[in-house]
């Protein structure tokens, strides 16, 4: 997990695919936010991660399309009030 406090950004939150649906990402997010000093936090969530963040009271600010290696990838800028 990586939080960039200056930008109020949750940058990385990953678990290995073999350990999905076991609460590990939830525990990481809870731990990260426990001592978080700002009143809001943002993240760029992938299509796969969007539902996880919605369940954790993040709201979609906007949908983005990013071009990587000639592929268009969709992600979502999301925000949570703390």
pLDDT tens-digit series, residues 18-76: 988 899 999 999 999 998 999 999 999 999 999 999 999 999 999 999 888 999 999 99
- Cα–Cα distance for residue pair 6/62, rounded to 1 Å: 21
Parent domain of 58: 2-81
Q: Return the CATH number at 45.
A: 3.40.630.30
Residue 77 has pLDDT above 90, yes or no: yes
CA atoms within 13 A on the CB side of 7: 9
The pLDDT value given to residue 6: 67
How many domains does one find in the chain?
Answer: 1
pLDDT confidence of 7, banded at 50, 70, 90? confident
């Amino acid at each position: 997990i990586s939080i960039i406090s200056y930008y109020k950004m949750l940058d990385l939150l990953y678990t290995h695919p073999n350990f999905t649906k076991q609460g590990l990402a939830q525990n990481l997010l809870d731990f990260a936010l426990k001592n978080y000093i700002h009143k809001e936090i943002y993240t760029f969530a992938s299509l796969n991660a969007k539902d996880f963040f919605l369940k954790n009271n993040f709201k979609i600010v906007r949908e983005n399309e990013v071009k990587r290696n000639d592929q268009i990838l969709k992600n979502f800028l999301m925000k949570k009030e703390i």
